[in-house]
Structure 1
Amino acid sequence: MLRIGLTGGIGSGKSTVARTFAELGATIVDADVIAREVVEPGTPGLAGLVEAFGDDILLPDGRLDRPALAAKAFTDDESRATLNAIVHPLVGARTAELIDSAPEDAIVVQDIPLLVEGGMAPLFHLVVVVFTDESVRLRRLVDSRGLDEADAKARIAAQATDVQRREVADIALDNNGSPETLVAAVRQLWSERLEPFAANLRAGVPAAPPLIVREPRAEWARRAERRSRRLRLIGGDEIVDVEHVGPTVVDGMPARDVVDLVITAESAEHAAAVADRLPAAGFPRVGADIAGFRRLWGPVTHASADPEEQVTITIGAPRDTAVHTAHVVRDRLRTDGDSRLAYLALERRAAAAADRADDPRAAFGAVIDDGLPGLHSYLLGS
């Protein structure tokens, strides 16, 4: 299944996005709804809160008096920790239950207001963030929700900043316009990216890499960092590091819109174990019949199923030839202008051949395969 993390600041319009996803067929898992559900009357969660904070946190009808609980639970770190220890495991268990009950081919959207604050971005195939100017959010909170302006400002200030959200956003939705514009953007995202991504995951195939050489993009470094965080979570103690290699790591160098990453595992056995987990995480194995994945350090082993942001992965133990060569080529491209020109010339020749051919990918692959041995020897100094 494809798992999407959805977040945004208070008043950003995140609920409109979640509602539209639901209309399109997504399974919605709403953290706020679950947090209320696990402390309904008769639940172990509410019983635990009463035991910890007293029965004066209850309303006359037996429901939780949230302001009364807040007055007790947020007075000091110990009380807050007690609250979290009761509620968070219940929310986590209910979340897992809902996800496990979703169909295997589902697109699951987890609506989590504090996704950024909780450091949860690496858990998801993609993170969608709804961005709205603070002045617009403030007006919505005051006019539509009836909040006091000072209270609204305090709530906004207590959450992550837009800069922090952009660091984890794979997809940024602008909601400074009309609701209709936002809904149209969500529908386009669904049809052009999420459904193809989910289809690739089900089929166990990566998205085909682009064949066009582009001018340098600052987004390449941000994409590498986001995907590296996810891979480090997946690899855990079995990996040494995840590094950005290839031409997109070189400042100012044009390249295809493909971010190359190398996972260095503790051993060959650990590399194999991590590799087995990559397909479900969004990085299927690369088949030999997909042109365009070959790199100077050898064929990559996995690549992203995401049709919009291609990432390739080479994984191996520290002494593996592919890992060592990837490092050497990266360093050579960073330090030697002639090497950059030679690398770029080959990719541009391949892109030009693809542009003229009836079968672009086959033409691209033929040029790369023909030119790689000489370029490989040149870059490695052999």
Structure 2
Amino acid sequence: MLLLGLTGGIAAGKSMIATRLADLGAVVIDADLLARQAVEAGSPGLEAIADAFGPDVMLPDGTLDRPALGRVIFNDEQARARLNAIVHPAVRELFSHRLAEAPADSIVVHDVPLLVENAMQAEYHLVMVVAASEPERLRRLISERGMSREDALSRIRAQADDSERRAVADIWLDNERAPEQTRMELDRIWRQRLVPFERNVRTRQLTDNSGPVVIVAADPSWPAQARRISERIRRAGGAGVLAIDHIGSTSVPGLGAKDRIDLQMAVRSLADADEMADRLAWIGFPPGRHLFDTPKPMFSAEHEAWGKRFHREADPGRAVNLHVRVFGAANWRYALAFRDWLRAEPGWRDEYERLKRRIASEHSHDPDGNGYAMAKEPWFSDVAEPALHAWIAKTGWEATVQ
């Protein structure tokens, strides 16, 4: 099963996208509909609201007087908190029931208008944001819904803005184009990303990462992508996650790299890492095969094991390596030190990029990245490690975590 969070600002066209996803085979769960069902006549939720706010918020037929309740909570933060404490648990329970009813191989779309505002992004395998510019949304609200410009603008400004939505969006769907273009793009995403991602999660399969290494220009969005993924991992790992850090080349501004994000999760022990393996697989990170790092003599005591657990992506749309290492261990410290050294030393950063591009070119016909990785090792041991060790001695570097 794959859980997709679907959101977008008012008049962005989210309902059209939800309908199309349902046509493609998704199980769509509408959060607004659940909120209405949670307080429908005769429900425990409505009874709790009547007890909390009195008979003035009830209509004679026993249903909720929504405008009256709105007036009660409009400028009263405590009243809104009381209402949320009643409605939100009831909605979560209804959602859990709908989710349990969905077939095991479902792509479940949770349609949530206020997903960003309620900081729900880490609850899903992916978040899709349906987007349209503010002028276009204003036009739709005025021409299609009959709102005044002032009312329409007020509705838009009351919600998250595009920068906030972009920060949580794994998929940004432009819905300002012709409807046929949007549907074609959505169908491609369904076919090429959502369907295989669901299958991989259900069967605990990794994506196919065969093929030669390709070095691309540094992408300024890599850190934001790493933060989104880290939130999901932290939520899945729970108290056993001591830290999650963006490491590797994509964590160094300005450094060209493979378009593959490396994350390091720190745990108390590898036994703790093994205990959370199933939860990581559920959110889209099945275990990989690599269990040991190559020791770096200057960073470890004699015979110190550089053990780790390694997970990789089930999502065909976002390549990720998740390295699970023991907090404070030599390999944990080395990953942070190497990243911070390259961030602080542009000359070494540029030399490393030149090396990577040269080796990638030399191995451009390899069936996988193993030859590329092996060809880099002499530079790490003969050049990078002594220079890094000298930098640490000079600066007094110590590991800090996120």
TM-score (normalised: structure 1)? 0.90
The answer to whether 1:63 aligns with 2:55 is: no
How far 1:354 sits from its partner (Å)? 5.1
How far 1:56 sits from its partner (Å)? 3.4
Could you tell me whether the CA contact under 8 Å between 2:359 and 2:376 is conserved in 1?
Answer: no
Identity %, equivalent residues: 40
Could you tell me whether the CA contact under 8 Å between 1:239 and 1:263 is conserved in 2?
Answer: yes
Cα gap change, 1:162 to 1:194, in 2 (>3 Å): same
- What are the Cα deviations for residues 216-275 of structure 1, in whole angstroms up to 9, with x where unaligned? 111211111111222222233322211111111112111000111111123444333333
Could you tell me whether the CA contact under 8 Å between 2:3 and 2:107 is conserved in 1?
Answer: yes
| Partner AA of 1:120 in structure 2 | M
Structure 1 equivalent of residue 150 of structure 2 = 150
Question: Residues of 2 paired with 1:191 and 1:365: CA distance?
Answer: 30
1:104-115 matches, cutoff 5 A: 104-115=104-115
Tell me the number of residue pairs that the alignment of Structure 1 and Structure 2 aligns.
375
Could you tell me whether the CA contact under 8 Å between 2:50 and 2:57 is conserved in 1?
Answer: yes
How far 1:61 sits from its partner (Å)? 3.7
| Partner AA of 2:377 in structure 1 | L
How far 1:64 sits from its partner (Å)? 2.2
Structure 2 equivalent of residue 194 of structure 1 = 194
How far 1:8 sits from its partner (Å)? 0.5
- What are the Cα deviations for residues 35-88 of structure 1, in whole angstroms up to 9, with x where unaligned? 011111121112222222233333444332211221123241221122111111
| Partner AA of 1:82 in structure 2 | R
Could you tell me whether the CA contact under 8 Å between 1:332 and 1:379 is conserved in 2?
Answer: no
Could you tell me whether the CA contact under 8 Å between 1:18 and 1:28 is conserved in 2?
Answer: yes
Question: Residues of 2 paired with 1:104 and 1:378: CA distance?
Answer: 51
Could you tell me whether the CA contact under 8 Å between 2:363 and 2:372 is conserved in 1?
Answer: no
Question: Residues of 2 paired with 1:61 and 1:295: CA distance?
Answer: 72
With 336-345 and 159-168 compared, the bigger mean Cα shift is at 336-345
Q: 2:223 aligns with which of 221, 228, 249?
A: 221
How far 1:327 sits from its partner (Å)? 1.7
| Partner AA of 2:65 in structure 1 | D
The answer to whether 1:161 aligns with 2:139 is: no
Structure 1 equivalent of residue 32 of structure 2 = 32
- What are the Cα deviations for residues 188-220 of structure 1, in whole angstroms up to 9, with x where unaligned? 111111112112212312223472110111121
Could you tell me whether the CA contact under 8 Å between 2:270 and 2:309 is conserved in 1?
Answer: no
How far 1:159 sits from its partner (Å)? 0.7
Question: Residues of 2 paired with 1:97 and 1:267: CA distance?
Answer: 36
Structure 1 equivalent of residue 287 of structure 2 = 285
Structure 2 equivalent of residue 232 of structure 1 = 234
Could you tell me whether the CA contact under 8 Å between 2:277 and 2:286 is conserved in 1?
Answer: no
Cα gap change, 1:350 to 1:196, in 2 (>3 Å): farther
| Partner AA of 1:366 in structure 2 | G
How far 1:187 sits from its partner (Å)? 0.8
Q: 1:333 aligns with which of 331, 335, 342?
A: 342
With 20-29 and 233-242 compared, the bigger mean Cα shift is at 233-242
Question: Residues of 2 paired with 1:354 and 1:201: CA distance?
Answer: 31
Question: Residues of 2 paired with 1:181 and 1:370: CA distance?
Answer: 44
- Look up the SS of the partner of 1:254 in the other structure: coil
Structure 2 equivalent of residue 312 of structure 1 = 321
Residue ranges of structure 1 left out of the alignment (5+ in a row) = none
1:1-382 matches, cutoff 5 A: 1-209=1-209, 211-287=213-289, 301-336=310-345, 339-340=348-349, 343-344=352-353, 347-349=356-358, 351-352=360-361, 355-357=364-366, 360-361=367-368, 364-372=369-377, 375-381=380-386
Question: Residues of 2 paired with 1:86 and 1:320: CA distance?
Answer: 46
Question: Residues of 2 paired with 1:304 and 1:81: CA distance?
Answer: 38
Q: Aligned Cα RMSD in Å?
A: 2.6
How far 1:294 sits from its partner (Å)? 8.4
Could you tell me whether the CA contact under 8 Å between 2:5 and 2:121 is conserved in 1?
Answer: yes
Question: Residues of 1 paired with 2:206 and 2:347: CA distance?
Answer: 32
- Look up the SS of the partner of 2:282 in the other structure: coil
Residue ranges of structure 2 left out of the alignment (5+ in a row) = 297-305, 390-402
